[in-house]
A and B are shown apart, each in its own frame.
Chain A
Amino acid sequence: MKLITVSGPPSSGKTSVIGKTIEALEKKAIELAVIKFDCLSTADELIYEKKGIKTKLGLSGSLCPDHYFVNNIDACFHWGLKENVAILITESAGLCNRCSPHIKGVLSVCVIDNLSGCHTPKKIGPMLKFADIVVITKGDIVSQAEREVFAYNVKIVNPKAKILHINGITGQGAAELGRLFFSANDYENLDDKKLRFTMPAALCSYCLGETMIGKDYHIGNVKNMKL
């Protein structure tokens, strides 16, 4: 089974890009499924179901969604195998820009949008810097110059990535992404696979439910701001 991890900041167009790409792939009649990871709630699984795409939803609740992702990806992979899926796509929201859901050897896609501003590529961590493919969306509503500066900044932070421009509404460019999905590696399991980069860390009193403010309550992995 081929596994593809798709990540990107909230509302950057991940669901639209995946939806349009699957539409483009469907003519090839292969079994596809999407696993949607999110935090509190989402209606995206309904969007997929409406399109007739097999979907599973994982909500991380109060946990870091990235950690939740990596704790569940193995089980998701097995589910995909059991369901005879040929291409399994995971969609995870990069909520803090320090997310790092990409796995070595597994095709990784980061979706970012032109509306987020020209300097945004510089502010995004491993999910952009270590992606194989960077999809840039919403190019139809900003000026050509801003599009060029944006793509240029992506290229500087991740020189190796292939950059694709996809219009999530018309689907322009999605067929090309679909073609790249076929180049993803096939795996029988995820044994011995490693993350491309460490995930955001946290292990302090607040992780365990502390709500009081003040030095006396800071326990664990704590970092102090330089003022």
Chain B
Amino acid sequence: MEGSWQLKNPYNFLTEMGFDLPDKNQSLDQYFDFIDDDMLEDMGTNKEMIYASYNALHEQFEEEPDVKVKSILIKGGFNKDGEKESIDILLKPGEIVSLVGPTGSGKSRLLADIEWLAQADTPTGRVIVINGILPDESKRYSFDEKLISQLSQNMNFVMDANVEEFIRMHAESRNIKQIDEVLETIIKHANDLAGEPFSLETPLTALSGGQSRALMIVDVAFLSKSPIVLIDEIENAGIDRRKAMEFLVNAEKIILIATHDPVLALMANRRLVIRNGGMYKIIESDESEKKVLDKLEKRDRETQKIRNALREGQKVQCD
């Protein structure tokens, strides 16, 4: 595909960077006999950087260290007043935990601490322990993007591509070989979630809000390597949220939901209450709360029914 870094031979690698080369099938060293300093300077690079870049590209395909996260322990630090947080929380794959608290209470800070693998070196003084051991300094950067993937209703696709090109590009950057299988799985499940059907040929920019979100959720479940998924509100409208959660749980993700939406908050087995910058308490969701959730979901389904009826040009009335 155009512009992809997947093409690994030196000719493609260099011409993609913008170099104008005479022959194909030469080695990087041979090309450097041809490329002079002026050409390098025009491109704003040098030999060393090109070698490093070329090697990085190949290492990416060779190692892909599979960071299997079995548990994440957040050890309490301090709240905004410097008072000790009285709790630690242990997160495990396949579990949903919601973060609740007013705007500005410190939810973002908690997520930043996880992302940074805080070692008592952030404003909260929290410590993040992965799989029971403290990550060492070099590991902190190797995790980089890989630890947390995020979903929120403010996110949009900005890429000028259709659904298939988009999925291919993501899969290629992850070095996934069976792209055709992945394509099929993702489009099928995304359609399960979205309500309104769309195809592989649909341009990303033509997707509705619900379709975009459905595609993002399924993409995170099947193509993102991050063991943690952070959901920062997702639309109520036109998307099966329970099924969405099931996909993520089945993908063995640790799911954190920062939300003000009662249905999402109650879908979690546990709620972490954030107050004044600190982890304040953990509430386990019990049977009576599940009844509240059932009630809310029933109401949601009714709204959905009315929405669909209106969309199809029907009249609605009270039962």
Judge if B235 is at the interface, Cβ distance under 8 Å: no
Specify which chain B residues have a CB less than 8 angstroms from the CB of A122 in the assembled complex.
Answer: 3, 16-17
Q: Are A143 and B145 in contact (CB under 8 A)?
A: no
A 139-153 binary contact with B (CB < 8 Å = 1; else 0): 111111111110111
- With A and B bound together, what is the CA distance between A119 and B158 in angstroms? 12
Residue among B17, B44, B145 making CB contact with A100, cutoff 8 Å:
B44
Note all chain A residues with C-beta closer than 8 A to B111.
172
Which chain A residues border B19 with CB–CB below 8 Å? none
| Chain A residues within 8 Å of B52, by CB | 159-160
A98 at interface, CB cutoff 8 A: yes
B43, A125: Cβ atoms under 8 Å?
yes
Within 8 A of A (CB), among B120-137: 121-123
B39-64 contacts to A, CB under 8 A, are 41, 43-46, 49, 52-53, 55-57, 60
Tally of B interface residues using CB under 8 Å: 50
Q: How far is the CA of A42 from the CA of B152 in the complex (A)?
A: 33
When A122-B17, A145-B224, A197-B46 are in contact, do A24 and B123 touch as well, CB less than 8 Å? yes
Interface residues of B (CB under 8 A from A): 3, 5, 16-17, 41, 43-46, 49, 52-53, 55-57, 60, 108-109, 111-112, 115-116, 121-123, 141, 144-145, 149-152, 154-159, 166, 169-170, 173-174, 212, 216, 219-220, 223-224, 226
Query: Are B216 and A143 in contact, CB atoms less than 8 angstroms apart?
Result: yes
Closest 7 CB pairs of A and B: A125-B44, A159-B56, A145-B170, A152-B173, A144-B149, A172-B112, A151-B145
A126 and B216 contacting across the interface, CB-CB below 8 Å? no
Residues of A within 8 A of B156 (CB): 141-143
A179 and B113 alpha carbons, distance in the complex (Å): 13
Verify A148–B16 contact, CB threshold 8 A.
no
